[in-house]
Amino acid sequence: MNIILLGPPGAGKGTQSAGLVERHAMVQLSTGDMLRAAVKAQTPVGLKAKAVMDAGELVSDEIVADLIDAELAAMDAGTGAIFDGYPRTASQAETLDGILSKHGRTLDHVIELGVDIDALVERITGRFSCANCGALYHDTANPPASEGVCDSCGHTEFKRRPDDNEETVRTRMAVYRGETAPILPGYEARGIVTRVDGMAGITDVANAIDAVLA
Ligand code: AP5
Ligand code: MG
């Protein structure tokens, strides 16, 4: 099973990917997470990507295609992939078709997380994650069960993303509207898009996604 989770910044792609990994033993391929890891490790890709990401713009199609290709090459052919934050442009969508066929895979579902744009700034500015395992939280919607302690690993340090400020979020939204939303009609024409209500609670969204995959 190969699926794309599509939605604007803060739609819940990362949150829902984590659930899918747990429930269905799929692998999350988040280009955002891969790029943040490259920035942290100060690799040549990371050094190139940092300023672009901090501004909320898109890094080059080649960089992300190489990251995705390398991850799929390292994966067992029978393991399902969740594409989180990829593709994001018409050109990336076309490239993904080529990469998937190279690895003997086909796209089964594109799940569009439908969200109210006004709620997203609040979601993103309230987001934080565990500094150790990366588990995602939100100040009010999804805090750890015990304050200051990660539910997943028990670590007590957390971090916030440098691009999670209101100004950059607005740029990221505009990029989504201008570059990413236009790839949906192509997938709709293939009959593989399902829209899920991303404004529902995290568990309800997860149940709706599971219903699509069943
Ligand atoms: P990326 O990391 O992909 O960021 P994004 O697309 O902006 O999406 P986010 O990660 O912000 O949101 P999300 O949908 O994962 O939401 P989350 O689950 O965290 O990309 C970052 C940057 O990298 C880009 O700007 C670009 O520069 C670069 N990049 C990445 N991919 C690229 C590509 N393919 N091409 C070029 N450049 C690329 O949820 C958000 C918050 O809401 C959390 O706090 C969560 O707890 C909470 N929440 C989640 N679901 C719910 C719910 N149902 N109800 C209430 N709260 C919820
Ligand atoms: Mg994310």
pLDDT tens by residue, 55-101: 999 999 999 999 999 999 999 999 999 999 999 999 999 999 999 99
Helices and strands of the chain, counted as H and E runs: 9, 8
Choose, from 23, 161, 170, 190, the residue flagged as catalytic. Answer: 161
Please tell me the predicted confidence (pLDDT) of residue 119.
86
- Is 127 an active-site residue? yes
Regions in the chain scoring below 50 on pLDDT? none
Let me know: does 61 contact 95? Beta carbons within 8 Å: yes
Determine the distance separating the centroid of ligand 2 and the alpha carbon of 85, expressed in angstroms: 7
- First-to-final CA distance of the chain: 11
Cα 32 to Cα 86, 91, 150, 196: the distances in Å are 9, 18, 22, 22
Pocket test for ligand 1, best of 138, 167, 199 (most atoms within 8 A of CB): 138
Is residue 80 in contact with ligand 1, taking CB distance under 6 Å? Answer: no
Let me know: does 85 contact 32? Beta carbons within 8 Å: yes
CA angle 128, 130, 136 (to 5 degrees): 55
pLDDT tens string 30-43: 999 999 999 999 99
CA 73 to CA 185: how far, in whole Å?
Answer: 29
Please tell me the predicted confidence (pLDDT) of residue 114.
95
Is residue 209 in contact with ligand 1, taking CB distance under 6 Å? Answer: no
Pocket test for ligand 1, best of 20, 29, 31 (most atoms within 8 A of CB): 31
Q: pTM of the full predicted structure?
A: 0.95
Is residue 137 in contact with ligand 1, taking CB distance under 6 Å? Answer: yes
- Write down the residue that tokens 């995959």 correspond to: 213
Partners of 29 in beta bridges: 83
